[in-house]
Chains A and B, each alone.
Chain A
Amino acid sequence: ETGVTQTPRHLVMGMTNKKSLKCEQHLGHNAMYWYKQSAKKPLELMFVYNFKEQTENNSVPSRFSPECPNSSHLFLHLHTLQPEDSALYLCASSQDLEATYEQYFGPGTRLTVT
């Protein structure tokens, strides 16, 4: 595996379900990110981890819970979601948080909440 991988690629869940999204980066990076991408809207940064420590939580509802067990893995735990949470969830990584480093994105998980 190379780059940033995400599983599952597609997920359909009911509002009462609990599920988890997984992200893994094979680039030796220290920073990892969760984004939400809705149609025709800007990417919304949800969470940032640097060296396994959470550095940003942009007012994300508590029904989204991140976990970063090590610098290579990032999870997004989902529970009691709402239909408006349906979107593409993208994971990204970068060398660290310094300005000059670009972010590398995974292919995303297309989430549908019914």
Chain B
Amino acid sequence: QTVVTQEPSFSVSPGGTVTLTCGLSSGSVSSGYYPSWYQQTPGQTPRTFIYNTNTRSSGVPDRFSGSILGNKAALTITGAQADDGSDYYCVLYMGGGMVFGGGTKLTVL
């Protein structure tokens, strides 16, 4: 069974740029997997951030952007702020269903 892979953790300095990735244990991620990204702060409900690879949901700051980089989907934060520290999950559409990555815990310090 194909696994969706994400970095377990990442750290970025305030004002810095960071790119989180979403890959496959076998194969490459393309736009045909309709990558989406969800932010979850501890104890809170997940919030939809990016869908269809690079479309920001309503209210998401434009410092967040989605793309395909090489063989992975990517979420880039440009000019990170302290409250961007959260868990970020990617989801790929595969085989008629959805598969979550394991999530990346982003620390801003």
A and B together in one complex:
no
